[in-house]
Amino acid sequence: MRKIFLIITILVVVLVGVGVLTFMGKIPALSSLIFKQVELDVAQTPDEIYSYYDEIGYVNNLKGETPKSGELVFEGGIDIEHTFTQNEINSWIAAWESEWSDLPFSNSQIKINSDGTVEASSSISVATAESFAKMLGYTDKDISKAKSYLEYIPDPLPLYAKGTASIVGNVVSIDVQDFKVAGFTLPSTISSAMGGVLEDITQRTRTLSDDTNVQEAVVTSDGVRFKGTVPASVSVR
């Protein structure tokens, strides 16, 4: 489902930002001995989102006994208007992690706070993120440069971000208020600079489907209020 995919893509963007900031000397060499992911205590099974797939007629060709690998193919369109709860979002994440082996995340978690802020935590595989970046349209030159930046960063990399995010009329707006790498809180100037990077990659995810149209995706105390068009099916090739 594209709308929640836009939220979870924040985690991918953070990885890109870490590489750039390391290259700039803003982050010291990190020790795997102190790497520990921030737990948000929002674990969920795929069952809840599978029920919603059935409700709207979304065809999920990824579901199976073993995770599938390959380039994602989204087809068709479904108009929906729905507020996705925190449980539904984390159920969706759990489904993707169990269905598609090329997803560079593990133990990904999203927490929506009463003040409208969103917390995101995940362990991201640098190696798997390379193929994911290609799918988002980054060039081999971009990826090679990022890999050189990430040379001294252990894999997988635990990341945490907190901030606000919204999409209105297909325009993404993200403000990162707190950003942690392996438990280290980065200066506010660096965290706020991540917003532009996040917006760029979130915009790129929408190009994976020509039919995707996000009229509104706004975080509320009840979840993510979404209105727009999402793909009708997903498969791999």
- Give strand ranges (E) for the chain: 59-60, 72-75, 78-84, 105-112, 118-124, 157-168, 171-181, 184-185, 213-220, 223-230, 233-236
pLDDT digits (tens, 9 = 90+) for 133-155: 666 676 777 667 666 655 556 66
Among candidates 143, 156, 69, which has minimal Cα distance to 105?
Answer: 156
What is the C-alpha to C-alpha distance for residues 233 and 208, in angstroms, rounded to an integer? Answer: 12
- Give me the amino acid identity at 101: S
Which pLDDT belongs to residue 176? Answer: 83
The pTM assigned to this predicted structure is 0.73
- Strands across the sheet with 59-60, in order? 59-60, 233-236, 72-75
- Domain boundaries defined on the chain: 2-236
Mean pLDDT by groups of 10 residues along the chain of 237 residues: 45 50 47 68 89 95 91 89 92 91 86 91 77 69 64 71 86 82 63 54 57 85 88 90
Helix (H) or strand (E) run with residue 10 in it: helix 2-23
pLDDT digits (tens, 9 = 90+) for 46-92: 999 999 999 999 999 999 889 999 888 889 999 999 999 999 999 99
